[in-house]
Amino acid sequence: MSVPFKQIVAYIDGSESSMTALMYAIKLAKEHQAQATAVYVVNTKALSDLVKSGIFVAVERDEYQRDLYEDADRYLRHAQHLADEKGVEIDTVKLEGSVHVVVKELVKSLGADLLILGGVSDIRSRRDELASETDRMMRTAPCPVLVVREDDDIWDEFER
Amino acid sequence: MNVLEALEKDLIKVPLESSEKYAIIRELVEVAAQVKGYDGDALLDAILARERLGSTGIGNGIAIPHAKSDAVDKVTMVIGVSKIPVDFESIDNQKARIFFLVIAPSKEASAHVELLASIARSCSSGIFRRMLEQAKDADEVIQLFME
């Protein structure tokens, strides 16, 4: 780990909380003159699990996969746009697989010193199968993790 | 998104009143329409269109009718438990008693997929399924997921 941070990774999934986390990451990267990376993971693991469990038929899996790839492109373009607005260099990375597994690999391969996430759930159940992908990333990340709470102030400050 | 994030007491109906597949679907859709003010006809059309591709009865007494529809503004899940086993044309030919209706707007594909996967994981335990089947009301369903 280095302070100030040199390599910051923000995970985005299209949720409002992940976009808040991205804004925070861009602001932090600017202040620390760090390299920022925004990553979106097309959750192909979940898609194949849904086919295996009989919830999705193959044609439906293909349709959702296309939707997820389109979402990835749209949100990563948005990430690029936000970073450009603040004059921050950002790499946008689209991956596929099991979210927490591929994010962990990316963080390792980049030697990132901070992973920024939004929307970690409140602990409402001890049952592991109810953990969200964000919870899993937080638990398995090989670097410090910063969890950004949903907060209008971050959006306001970003727009200033 | 996981089951707990989508869980809402008002969107749980125990017991369901219907005892036939399409009546169950309509009953679940009505819950979403009444509680959230969604267009019930649009939801029903989307769910039935998906059901025509193949039954969403996934076996072990569980059915997960689901669809994309921009008639909802966020991912919405309705849970229903029936006292009577219902023929849902499930893949294992077993009748179903536990139903998860999931509808998501097209812009929330990621959350939709995650929620469906979370339902599948949480219902993979036979003990959990049996406890869910025996739930008497919405509070008991919530408590089971919270434990």
Average model confidence (pLDDT) for chain A? 88
Which class for B141: exposed (0-12), middle (13-18), buried (19 or more C-beta within 10 A)?
buried
Give me the residue from A46, A121, A129 closest to B113, CB to CB.
A46
Give me the residue from A68, A131, A132 closest to B109, CB to CB.
A68
What b-and-e string marks burial along A9-27, b requiring 16 or more CB atoms within 10 Å of the CB? bbbbbbbebbbbbbbbbbb
Q: Which fold has domain B3-146?
A: Mannitol-specific EII; Chain A (3.40.930)
Least confident of A69-73, A149-153, B8-12: A149-153
> A125–B146: do the CB atoms touch at under 8 Å?
yes
> A68–B110: do the CB atoms touch at under 8 Å?
yes
DSSP E strand boundaries for chain A: 7-11, 35-42, 90-96, 114-118, 145-148
**A160 close contact with B: CB closer than 8 A:** no
Q: Which two tokens stand for residue A2?
A: 């280095």
**B106 close contact with A: CB closer than 8 A:** yes
Q: pLDDT 10s per residue in chain B (147 long)?
A: 888 889 999 999 999 999 999 999 999 999 999 999 999 999 999 999 999 999 999 999 999 999 999 999 999 999 999 999 999 999 899 999 999 999 999 888 888 998 999 898 888 888 889 999 999 999 999 998 887
Domain ranges in chain A? 7-159
CA distances from B146 to A130, A131, B20 (A): 9, 12, 30
Which residues does chain B have within 8 Å of residue A75's beta carbon, measured at their own beta carbons?
A: none
Which residues does chain B have within 8 Å of residue A125's beta carbon, measured at their own beta carbons?
A: 4, 145-147
DSSP E strand boundaries for chain B: 12-13, 57-59, 62-63, 66-68, 76-86, 96-104
> B56–A55: do the CB atoms touch at under 8 Å?
yes
**A46 close contact with B: CB closer than 8 A:** yes
What b-and-e string marks burial along B66-83, b requiring 16 or more CB atoms within 10 Å of the CB? bbbbebbeebbbbbbbbe
Nearest CA in chain A to B60: A53
Which single residue is written with the structure tokens 């992973």? A115
Local confidence band at A131 (pLDDT 50, 70, 90 cut-offs): low
Domain ranges in chain B? 3-146
Q: Which two tokens stand for residue B136?
A: 């008497």
Q: Which fold has domain A7-159?
A: Rossmann fold (3.40.50)
